[in-house]
A and B are shown apart, each in its own frame.
Chain A
Amino acid sequence: MAKKEIKGDWILGWPDRKRPRSEFYKDTEGRVVGSRTPFLELEGLITPTDAVFVNAQVQMPEPVHPEEYRFEVFGEVENPMQCTLEDVRKLPGRTVRAVIECAGNDADFFNYLEAGGTGAKPSFELSEEDGIHWRLSGKKREQPIADADTLLKTIPSTCMLSGGEWTGVPFAELLKRARVKPGAVAIRLEGWDRGRPDPILLYRSAARTDFKVFDPGVINYDKGLPIEKAMHPDTILAWAHNGEYLQHVHGAPLRLIVPGWAGNWWVKWISKIEVMNRMPDCYHQTHYFVSGKSPEDPDKKMMTALGVKSVITEPRDEDSPLPRGEYAIRGLAWSGEGEITRVEMSVDAGASWRDAHIEYSPDRWLWKRWSFLWQAGKPGEYAIMARATDEKGRSQPQTEWNFLRKHFDGIVPVRLTVE
Chain B
Amino acid sequence: MKIVVCVKAIPDPEIAASIFRVDEAAKRMVPLPGTRSVMSPFDEQALELALRIRDALGEGSITLLTLGAETTRSIVKHGLSLGADDALMLVDPVFDDGDSYTTARALAAAIQRMGGVDLILTGRQAADGDCGVVGCGIAELLGLPAVTFAMDIVVTDGMLVIERALGEGSEIIEAPMPAVVTVSHEVGKVRYASLRETMKAARKPVTAWSAEQLGLDASELGTRGARRVLERLYVPVNDVQCEYMVGETPEELAGNLVERLHAARLI
Chain A residues in the interface with B (C-beta under 8 A): 5-10, 14-18, 26, 28-31, 128-129, 134-140
A8 touches B16 (CB 8 A): no
Give the contacting residue for A29; candidates B16, B184, B193, B201; CB below 8 A.
Answer: B16
Known contacts A10-B81, A18-B193, A135-B44: A140-B17 contact under CB 8 Å: no
* Known A134-B13, A135-B41, A135-B44; contact A17-B195, beta-carbon cutoff 8 A: yes
Tell me the bound Cα distance from A15 to B77 in angstroms: 10
Q: Judging by beta carbons under 8 Å apart, are A139 and B189 in contact?
A: yes
Which single residue of chain A is at the shortest CB-CB distance from B201?
A: A15
Given contacts A16-B195, A28-B17, 13 further A-B contacts (CB under 8 A): A5-B196, A8-B198, A9-B81, A15-B81, A15-B201, A15-B202, A17-B195, A29-B17, A30-B17, A128-B189, A129-B189, A135-B44, A137-B185
Task: Pick the residue among B13, B44, B184, B196 that contacts A6 (CB under 8 A).
Answer: B196
For A15, list chain B residues within 8 Å (CB).
81, 195, 198-199, 201-202
- Rounded to whole angstroms, the CA-CA distance of A28 and B18 in the bound complex is 10
Could you say which of A10, A26, A31, A139 contacts B198, with CB atoms under 8 Å apart? Answer: A10
What residues on A are CB-neighbors of B45 within 8 Å?
138
Instruction: Show the binding face of B for A, using Cβ within 8 Å.
Output: 13-18, 41, 44-45, 74, 77-78, 81, 184-190, 192-199, 201-202
Chain A CB within 10 A, most for which of B74, B184, B185, B190: B185
A8 near B15 with CB under 8 A, answer no
Chain A nearest CB, measured from B198 CB (Å): 3
In the complex, A29→B74 CA distance in Å?
Answer: 25
Closest 5 CB pairs of A and B: A8-B198, A138-B185, A8-B195, A6-B195, A15-B198
A–B complex contacts, Cβ < 8 Å, 19 sampled:
A5-B194, A5-B196, A6-B195, A8-B194, A8-B197, A10-B81, A10-B198, A26-B14, A29-B17, A30-B16, A30-B17, A31-B16, A134-B41, A135-B44, A135-B190, A138-B45, A138-B186, A139-B188, A140-B188
Residues of B within 8 A of A10 (CB): 74, 77-78, 81, 198
Q: Compute how far the CA of A28 lies from the CA of B20 in the bound complex, rounded to whole angstroms.
A: 13
Residues of A within 8 A of B195 (CB): 5-8, 15-18
Contacts of B189 in A (CB 8 A): 128-129, 136, 139
Q: Which residues of B contact A17 (CB under 8 A)?
A: 195
Give A10 to B187 CA distance when docked, in angstroms.
Answer: 25
Most buried by B among A7, A15, A136: A15
B residues near A28, Cβ cutoff 8 Å: 17
Tell me the dominant secondary structure on chain B's binding face: helix
Distance, CA A26 to CA B16, complexed state (A): 9
Whether A30 and B15, one on each chain, are in contact in the complex, defined by CB atoms closer than 8 angstroms, is yes
- Chain A residue with Cβ nearest B199: A15
B185 contact set on A, CB distance < 8 A: 137-138
**Residues on the B chain within 8 Å of A31, using CB:** 16, 18
Could you tell me the distance between the alpha carbons of A134 and B81 in the complex, rounded to whole angstroms?
Answer: 22
Most chain B CB neighbours (cut-off 10 Å) among A8, A28, A29, A140: A8
State the CA gap A218–B199 with chains docked (Å). Answer: 53
Task: Decide: B14 and A30 in contact? CB cutoff 8 A.
Answer: yes
Chain B, Cβ-Cβ closest to A30: B16
Whole-angstrom CA separation of A153 from B78 in the bound complex:
35
Q: Which residues of A contact B192 (CB under 8 A)?
A: 7, 18
When chains A and B are docked, how far (Å) is the Cα of A380 from the Cα of B187? 41
Chain B residues near A7 (CB-CB < 8 A): 192-195
Distance of A246 Cα from B194 Cα, bound (Å): 32
Which residues of the other chain, A, contact B202 by a CB distance below 8 angstroms? 14-15
Contact B81 A8 (CB under 8 A): yes
Query: Which residues from B are CB-within-8-Å of A9?
Result: 81, 193, 198
A29 touches B197 (CB 8 A): no
Q: How far is the CB of B230 from chain A (nearest CB, A)?
A: 25
Residues of A within 8 A of B187 (CB): 138
Query: Nearest chain B CB to A66's CB is how many angstroms away?
Result: 19
CA distance A28 to B238 in the complex (A): 13
Q: Give Cα A41 to B261, complex, Å.
A: 49
Q: How long is the Cα–Cα vector from A31 to B15 in the complex, in angstroms?
A: 8
Distance in angstroms from B150 CB to nearest chain A CB is 12
Instruction: List chain B residues, Cβ under 8 A from A140.
Output: 186, 188
